[in-house]
Amino acid sequence: MSLGGYVVRRLLQLVPIALGVTILVFFLIHLVPGDPARTILGNQATTVRVKLLRHAWGLDRPLPVQYLKFMGRLLHGDLGTSLFYSVGAGRLVLQRLPVTLWLIGFGAVLAVAIAVPLSAFAATHRDRLPDHIVRAVPLVGLGFPPFWLGIVLLLTFGLNLGRLFPVGGYGSGFTGHLHSMFLPALTVALGIAPILIRSLRAGLLEVFEAEYITTARSKGLPERRVLIRHALRNAIVSTVSVLGVNIGYLVGGTLVIEQVYAIPGIGQLMINSIFERDFPVVQAVTLVFSVMVVLVYLATDVAHALLDPRVRFD
Amino acid sequence: MKARRPLMFLALAGTAALGVTAATALGAGHAQKAGTPKRGGSITIARIEDSQSFDKTNVFQNESIWLTEQINETLYTAGKDGKTLIPWLATSYTRSKDGKTYTFKLRKGVKFSNGRPMTSADVKFSIDDARAQSKGWGYLDAAIKNITTPDPDTVVFHLKRQWAPFLADIGLFANGIIPNHFAGQTRTQFYKHPIGTGPFMWDKRVIGQSVTFKRNPFYWQKGKPYLDSVTWTFVTDENTRELQLRGGQIQIDEFPPFNSISKLQHTSGVTMSLFPSTRTDYLDINESYAPLADVHVRRAISLAIDRNAIIKSVLFGHGTPANSFLPPQVPFYDAQSPGLQYNIAQAKAEMAKSKYPKGFKVTLLVGAGAQVESAMGQILQQSLKQIGIDVTFHQEDTSTEFNDIGKRKYQLGFSYWTMDIADPDELVTFAIDPAGGAGSFYTGYDNPAVVKLSHEAQVQPDPAVRAKLYAQLQVKAANDAFLGFLYYSPYRWAYSSKVHGFFVEPLGNYHLENVWLG
Amino acid sequence: MAAAATADALGEAIPVGQRRGFRGRWYRTPSFVAGVSILGTIVLLAVLAPLVTGFDPTYQDLNHTLQGPSWHHLLGTDDLGRDTWTRLVYGARTDLRVAFLAVLFPFTIGTVLGLFSGYYGGWVDSITSWFVNVVVAFPFYVLIIALVFALGSGTRNIYIAITLVGWVSYTRIIRGEVLVAKRRDYVLAARAGGLSDFRILFRHLLPNVITQAIVFAMSDIVLDILAIVTLGYLGLGVQPPTPDWGTMIAEGQTFLTTHWELSTIPGIAVVVTALGLSLLADGLADLLRPE
């Protein structure tokens, strides 16, 4: 089967998954207790006022009816209107999407930049002190929650060591983004680096063991070059795989990081919408997230296949 | 200013620099040195939530209200003490003998930010629009029968009955003045970026990020506002806000945590202010749960709350024990009423008199992620254990918590109140009147004698008599212990020492026309 | 020949070499040993909590809040005057128990589903895979938060939420392994020999495919501890006043710029536990890898 055919088939498979996602998120968020009308009315919420508001929003219809209306609008490209802001949910999401993409992308790049050299170092000094240090230290990123890491990084690099980085925010212009997003991207990277390091290291070790045996028997080719070439390719394949598989987790992890660094991305939008029971926005964000995740899986598989000729499309 | 004489300029600059440094060193934590206001500059205020809407007649969220107040002003407004009402867009009023007609004289020379002058037609339109909002604040204007405008500078309000809180109600932000017929736009369009007579006008908004207002060139107070523009951003994490302030990215930080107050008071370049507020915190007691319907049980609970311990460990000393459900900054607050203060012996005696002398189990609803509530709750747990009441935590996210309290699906819970008008009526009705829209602050409390006092006070024109009525009401309510009155706490604002003239009123709002950057 | 092969297949399903290897090698695998030591120490402390700590974890001393370390309070006190060391050790009890149970349910359910789905294929597999793909497409935390909101906070609902989301990984792993394993000789022989599906699945396939899942489970415990900590940050985790590292970190958050140790100390506990579990996972992976 060709690459093109494979991609098309996978994209078609996206449809039932997306459908499943819409059902899941719709019913889940509506089953969550808490009424956005009451939340918005605050202390002034009387039964009458709440009822009026719910009716204005169409929330007093039975759930399946609401779902059908939602799907109907969706097919016209309308993701609903935010209950909190009274603007289109789709517009809100598209506005904030680039910010989160920046965060994830930059974070992934930093994660690779940290993980690849460290795991190579660990793998070449297997079971000796450097190996143990490399495997232990990144766990800081795993054990400390992002809000702790974030504030410590901000305190240290944003204030105490001279104002090297702006405290939170997104910045403007490409260099502005790089500057403002460095610390948050670093926090993301530290969160995922331990997983990357573990799997890269294991992969490299496998390569080393195999290559050592083969090259011991071959002549003419310098052992080192073969080692590095194979190891590197394996490393890239592994990295892509692991990053891809963990993308769901990565994307979710940005939720809290965006809160801490006051980054106006969709993670922050998501958290606030869940807390406010802004159903249309939660639905819109989840849908976009899910599509993104599935596309990333697809991209990962394709990249994997292109890099590793042993993989077949079936 | 051109430096024509370099040496002199340098000398001046040097002295000024010395002066500024000295002032900053001394100034951190002290009141602003009164200097001459300088014109120009912009400030950024970071707050805990984003603004929801700018439709002042239908919005209940402080983060929206405090912003619309920069654009839309009222005829009379609350003064700095939160109690007196001072003329603002109106210069005076007269009241008829029967108390049912109020005639206001409008201030001359007031213009909207679109250059048009304000007339009585605008006032009538605004208040008619506000009182038509049945889903919003319309109910507060329920006493108005109709409004007439005999000439462009005069507005007459005809009331259905005598209504003592009327002037305070007119000062409610929802009754702010907007242009007649929404300046030619539809209602929805207009309220996306309202026009008003206030010191600032709409500039731009990025949803979920920032709101910016700029100077209103037609503002009626000459020379003000000093600032060119104000931007409000939204940063949920309190640590991040604090770091942004210290890093110079923002100029004003809303609500730093209690434990940071002391540190911020000693940080150079930062002013940490505690403004007297109308904020009162309560323990909600739902009388639907049988043991809590017993007045002796409720009194025991109030007597068992160690308010001083809470204030010391949770508020770090920045609060005072509450003796009434009204706060001190509200007219007719009764300072003499002792309330039920911490006394374990008396608490045990009350339990003995109740139908549950051996105690009982109860759940306490706490907001998730609310550190203050959680800490208070845990202290309360220990306190109530002493009188045999076994408290279990039930944490819910704040939205669900709010809902459940509103629907009376809780046993014990936490609430607070800040005043919207300079009159006790709004809170009293909400708190003790079962027909007041909230079922007596969501507790189900019903004491006809207390309700009668409230109704009498509403129509009583003589302030001295009103004071007596409200005093009796507060004492009775305290004895019934329908809510646990916890504490009064100040508004906490930290801002750069370059910011002058920033003052937060007891109602929570702030007049940015007085703020200047130095 | 064929009869002998069948007899072999019907007998021990686990390749003998692998079993002997584990027993002989575990003490020579440093990561395994390190992991067990670290984890073992933490578990021991947790079990012996009343003996190694001097206070009641919920006892408040409101006159001595936010104290630094001293003879009386080894690691100081928190904002309500409770002894930090005591809460740390009792917190270990809560968190280890919750994390372990929170892994057990998804592990069990996911493995069973993966077995059936991989072995039978067909529509069982299609439907299971569809569910797996839908759940996987969701950002993990979004689902957990929504579920905890819907169900309410508290440990029982945390188990439910994590189970509903976490089974997916196990199903994928097991299914993948089963797809490969079911073509192996011993399985084909077993089927030819007329053994019931049930017997094949649980007596023969399961022991061979489960090792990957066990290794994953170790790192999954770490992820679950983190999820509980994050839920604590959002205020949806274990209910106060029960001590738990997540709530301790969350409660310390307000004090990050004044008393950073309140969040840092339980954070270190999480890191050390994560380290132990990671080492254990690596060690197991090394040991269980067929030679």
Q: Hey, where are the domains in chain A? A: 3-75, 90-307
Q: What is the pLDDT of residue C290?
A: 56
Which of A182-191, A278-287, B248-257, C166-175: highest mean pLDDT? B248-257
pLDDT at B260 over 50: yes
pLDDT at B85 over 50: yes
Q: Confidence band (pLDDT; 50, 70, 90) for B24?
A: very low
How high is the mean pLDDT of chain B?
A: 89
CB atoms within 10 A of CB B354: 18
Q: Confidence band (pLDDT; 50, 70, 90) for A152?
A: confident
> Touching check for C130 and chain A: CB below 8 Å?
yes
At the fourth CATH level, which superfamily is domain B280-488? Dipeptide-binding Protein; Domain 3 (3.10.105.10)
CA distance linking residue A65 with residue B38, whole number of Å: 60
Shortest distance between the Cα of B369 and any Cα of chain C, in A, equals 4
> Touching check for A88 and chain B: CB below 8 Å?
no
Q: Confidence band (pLDDT; 50, 70, 90) for B93?
A: very high
Q: What is the pLDDT of residue B4?
A: 38
Which residues make up the CATH 3.10.105.10 domain(s) of chain B?
Answer: 280-488
Q: Which residue has the tokens 């996206």?
A: A14
Would you say the C-alpha torsion B341, B347, B349, B355 has a positive or negative sign?
positive
Q: What is the pLDDT of residue A309?
A: 60
Shortest distance between the Cα of A173 and any Cα of chain C, in A, equals 29
> Touching check for A257 and chain B: CB below 8 Å?
no
* A residues 185-244 lying closer than 8 A (beta carbon) to B: none
Of B61, B134, B400, the CB nearest to A34: B400
Q: What is the pLDDT of residue C87?
A: 92
CB atoms within 10 A of CB B84: 11
How high is the mean pLDDT of chain A?
A: 77
* Count of A-B CB contacts under 8 Å: 116
pLDDT at C4 over 90: no
Annotation: CATH topology of A90-307:
MetI-like fold (1.10.3720)
The domain made up of B6-193+493-517 is a member of CATH 3.40.50.970: no
Q: Confidence band (pLDDT; 50, 70, 90) for B190?
A: very high
For residue C132, give Cα distances in angstroms to A17, A119, B312, B479, C135.
9, 31, 52, 60, 5
CA distance linking residue C113 with residue C129, whole number of Å: 10
In 3D, which of B393, B404, B389, B401 has the Cα closest to residue C239? B393
Q: Which residues of C touch B (CB under 8 A)?
A: 58, 60, 62, 65, 79-81, 149, 152-154, 233-236, 239-241, 250-251, 253-259
Q: What is the mean pLDDT of residues C188-193?
A: 80
DSSP B4-28: SSHHHHHHHHHHHHHHHHHHHHHHT
pLDDT at A30 over 80: no
Q: Which residues of B touch A (CB under 8 A)?
A: 46, 50, 52-53, 60-61, 134-137, 206-209, 233-237, 239-240, 243-244, 246-249, 397-400, 402-404, 406-407, 417, 430, 437-438
Q: What is the pLDDT of residue C12?
A: 33
Which of A190-194, A290-294, B47-51: highest mean pLDDT? B47-51
Tens digit of each residue's pLDDT (9 = 90 or more) over A160-173: 776 777 777 777 77
Q: What is the mean pLDDT of residues B303-315?
A: 93
Q: What is the pLDDT of residue B387?
A: 93
C-beta atoms of A145 and C226 within 8 A: yes
For residue B147, give Cα distances in angstroms to B55, B62, B129, B271.
22, 28, 12, 45
Tens digit of each residue's pLDDT (9 = 90 or more) over B448-471: 999 999 999 999 989 999 999 999
Q: Confidence band (pLDDT; 50, 70, 90) for C201?
A: confident
Q: Confidence band (pLDDT; 50, 70, 90) for A44?
A: low
C-beta atoms of A202 and C145 within 8 A: no
**Would you call B57 exposed, middle or buried from its count of C-beta atoms within 10 A (0-12, 13-18, 19+)?**
buried
Q: What is the 3-state secondary structure (H, E, C) of chain A?
A: CCHHHHHHHHHHHHHHHHHHHHHHHHHHHHHCCCCHHHHHHHHHCCHHHHHHHHHHCCCCCCHHHHHHHHHHHHHCCCCCECCCCCCEHHHHHHHHHHHHHHHHHHHHHHHHHHHHHHHHHHHHCCCCHHHHHHHHCCHHHHHCCHHHHHHHHHHHHHHHCCCCCCCCCCCCHHHHHHHHHHHHHHHHHHHHHHHHHHHHHHHHHHHHHHHHHHHHHCCCCCHHHHHHHHHHHHHHHHHHHHHHHCHHHHHHHHHHHHHHCCCCCHHHHHHHHHHHCCHHHHHHHHHHHHHHHHHHHHHHHHHHHHHCCCCCCC
Point out the least confidently predicted range of A129-138, B85-94, B157-166. Answer: A129-138
C-beta atoms of C239 and B242 within 8 A: no
Tens digit of each residue's pLDDT (9 = 90 or more) over C118-164: 888 888 888 898 888 888 877 777 777 777 777 777 778 888 888 88
CA distance linking residue A164 with residue C269, whole number of Å: 30
The pTM assigned to this predicted structure is 0.82
CA distance linking residue B119 with residue B149, whole number of Å: 9
In 3D, which of C288, A260, A49 has the Cα closest to residue B135? A49
Written as six digits, the tokens of B242 are 């604090």
CB A187 within 8 A of CB A150: yes
pLDDT at A243 over 50: yes
Q: What is the pLDDT of residue B231?
A: 96
Kindly compute the dihedral angle of the four CA atoms of residues A293, A294, A298, A303, in this order, to the nearest 10 degrees.
Answer: 10
In 3D, which of B327, B325, B319 has the Cα closest to residue B478? B325
Distance, first Cα to last Cα, chain C: 26
Q: What is the mean pLDDT of residues B467-477?
A: 94
For chain B, the maximum distance between any two Cα atoms, rounded to a whole number of angstroms, is 87
Let me know the angle formed at the C-alpha of B241 by B240 and B243, rounded to the nearest 5 degrees.
65
Shortest distance between the Cα of C258 and any Cα of chain B, in A, equals 7
- Write phi, then psi, for C146 (nearest 5 degrees): -60, -40
For residue B385, the surrounding DSSP H or E stretch is: helix B371-385
Shortest distance between the Cα of A284 and any Cα of chain B, in A, equals 16
Which residues make up the CATH 3.90.76.10 domain(s) of chain B?
Answer: 6-193+493-517
Q: Which residue in chain A has the smallest CA separation from B238?
A: A260
C-beta atoms of C153 and B368 within 8 A: yes
Written as six digits, the tokens of B401 are 């918590």
Predicted complex ipTM: 0.76
Residues of B in contact with A268 (CB under 8 A): 208, 236
- Chains near C (3 or more Cβ pairs under 8 Å): A, B
C-beta atoms of C137 and A294 within 8 A: yes
Which domains, and CATH codes, for chain C?
A: 23-287 (1.10.3720.10)
DSSP C194-223: T--HHHIIIIIIHHHHHHHHHHHHHHHHHH
Point out the least confidently predicted range of A66-70, A100-104, B301-305. Answer: A66-70
Q: Confidence band (pLDDT; 50, 70, 90) for A43?
A: low
CA distance linking residue B157 with residue A199, whole number of Å: 77
Q: What is the pLDDT of residue C19?
A: 45
CA distance linking residue B393 with residue B374, whole number of Å: 9
Q: What is the mean pLDDT of residues B97-110?
A: 94
